[in-house]
Amino acid sequence: GMLLAMSSERERVEAFWNATHTGPAPDHGNYLAHPLVAAYTSIRATGVIVGQLEVAIAELRDRCPNGARILSPGCGAAHKELALARALPDRHFVAVDIAESALAAGRNAAAQLGLTNIEFAVADFNQLELERESFDAIIGLGAFHHIENFEGFWAQCRRALRKGGVILAQEYVGPNRLQWTDAQIEHGDRVLRDLVPACHKVAHDRVHRVALEHIIAVDPSEAVRSSEMLPTLQAAGFAIAALVSGGGALLQPVLIDQIHTYDPRNWQHNLVLAKLFAEEDRLMREGVLQDDFVMFRTEPV
Residue 30 is predicted with a pLDDT of: 87
Residue 97 and residue 76 in contact, taking contact as beta carbons nearer than 8 Å: yes
Q: What is the pTM (predicted TM-score) of this model?
A: 0.89
Looking at residue 135, its pLDDT comes to: 98
The answer to which of 18-27, 181-190, 223-232, 289-298 has the lowest mean pLDDT is: 18-27
pLDDT at 15: 44
Residues 214-219: contacts with CB under 8 Å, at least 24 apart: 215/177, 215/178, 216/177, 219/146
Q: What is the pLDDT of residue 210?
A: 87
Mean pLDDT throughout 169-174?
97
What is the mean pLDDT of the segment spanning 237-248? 97
61 pLDDT higher than 90: yes
Amino acid letter for position 24: P
Q: What percent of the chain has pLDDT over 70?
A: 91
Higher per-residue pLDDT: 24 or 282: 282
At 114-160, the pLDDT tens digits run: 999 999 999 999 999 999 999 999 999 999 999 999 999 999 999 99
Q: Residue 216 — pLDDT band, cuts 50, 70, 90? A: very high
Dmax over CA atoms of the chain, in Å, equals 56
Contact 75, 96 (CB under 8 A): yes
Assess whether pLDDT exceeds 70 at residue 74. yes
Share of the chain above pLDDT 90, in %: 88
Q: Report CA 54 to chain centroid distance, whole Å.
A: 13
Q: What is the pLDDT of residues 91-114, one digit of tens each?
A: 999 999 999 999 999 999 999 999
Backbone phi, psi, residue 247, to 5°: 65, -145
Q: What integer best gives the mean pLDDT of the chain? A: 91
Q: Could you tell me if 232 and 148 are in contact, meaning their C-beta atoms sit under 8 angstroms apart?
A: no
Q: Is the predicted pLDDT of residue 176 greater than 90, yes or no? A: yes
Q: Which of 122, 110, 251, 238 is nearest to 169 (CA)?
A: 238
Half-sphere exposure of 88 (CA within 13 A, CB side): 28
Residue 23: predicted pLDDT: 36
| HEC per residue, 101-137 | HHHHHHHHHHHHHCCCCEEEEECCCCCCCCCCCCEEE
Distance CA 201, CA 64 (A): 45
pLDDT at 226: 98
